């Protein structure tokens, strides 16, 4: 079946511009996660959506970052007034959640490589 | 705040050798631990997931163990192959769904 897809695969933008990144999770996965990975580093949690619950935004680095999710489908991550330090790979993952909140295996998309000039 | 450390940062071994990758975490109140593989320029592939109530999981040549009380996990790779060359990431999750990742161990298996 189809996995997690992300678009665009690469994005080059100028400092100060806004960018929007898209994630299509696996159908039926109620949980969706956004991560950031800087060059040579591990993944940094950004935000987590689970069903209709309020998202966990505790990882968003500044108020320039925001994310939305439409129901249990597509999500968009928006970065306003981009800065050079925003350059990274942005990864999206989805998973199934049981009723007891035990997190299941996360399935990752290929990522969006963002370069801010 | 949960912190995850992976040692070593890089490892190079000859083909056929057995090896162990280490992961440690500071807060033992986890719900599960997951090992991933990341190939250059690509996303992550899940290898093994261990629930907090479990001690180990096995998949083929891979075996992951979890000692929650001491905050440690190991990933054992048997009979390594050049195709195992990748970065291996460990991640721990809380009941809130938030995952904390280590910086990874980059493995090179030489033919």
Residues of B in contact with A21 (CB under 8 A): none
By DSSP bridging, strand B56-59 and strand A10-13 are unpaired
pLDDT digits 0-9 by tens, B3-60: 999 999 999 999 999 999 999 999 998 988 999 999 987 789 999 999 888 999 999 9
Does the bond joining A8 to the residue before it have cis omega, within 30 degrees of 0? yes
Token couple for A36: 């950031």
Nearest to A72 by CA among A112, A105, A23: A23
Check B44 against A93: CB less than 8 A apart: yes
- Coil, strand or helix at A66: strand
Mean pLDDT by 10 residues, chain A (117 residues): 90 97 93 91 90 88 94 93 96 79 78 96
* Cross-chain CB nearest to B101 (options A43, A104, A110): A43
Whether A101 and chain B come into contact, CB under 8 Å, resolves to yes
Interface of B with A (CB under 8 A): 4, 31-32, 34, 36, 42-46, 49, 51, 89, 91, 93, 95-104
Whether A103 and chain B come into contact, CB under 8 Å, resolves to yes
By DSSP bridging, strand A112-116 and strand A10-13 are parallel
């Amino acid at each position: 079946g189809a996995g997690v897809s992300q678009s665009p695969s690469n994005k080059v933008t100028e400092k100060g511009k806004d960018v929007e990144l898209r994630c299509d999770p696996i159908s039926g996965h109620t949980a969706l996660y956004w991560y950031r990975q800087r060059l040579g580093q591990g993944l940094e949690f950004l935000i987590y959506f689970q069903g209709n619950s309020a998202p966990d935004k505790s990882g968003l680095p500044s108020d320039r970052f925001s994310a939305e999710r439409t129901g249990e489908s597509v999500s968009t991550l928006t970065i306003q007034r981009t800065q050079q330090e925003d350059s990274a790979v942005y990864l999206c993952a989805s998973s199934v959640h049981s009723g007891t909140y035990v997190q299941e295996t996360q399935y990752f998309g290929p990522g969006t490589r963002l370069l801010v000039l | 705040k949960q912190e995850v450390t992976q040692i070593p940062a890089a490892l190079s071994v000859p083909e056929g050798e057995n090896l162990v990758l280490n992961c440690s975490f500071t807060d033992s109140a986890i719900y599960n631990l997951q090992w991933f593989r990341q190939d250059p320029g690509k996303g992550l592939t899940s290898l093994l997931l261990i629930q907090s109530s479990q001690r180990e999981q096995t998949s083929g040549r891979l075996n992951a163990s979890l000692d929650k009380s001491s905050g440690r996990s190991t990933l054992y790779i048997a009979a390594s192959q050049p195709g195992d060359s990748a970065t291996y990431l460990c991640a721990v999750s809380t009941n809130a769904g938030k995952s904390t990742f280590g910086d990874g161990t980059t493995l090179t298996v030489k033919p």
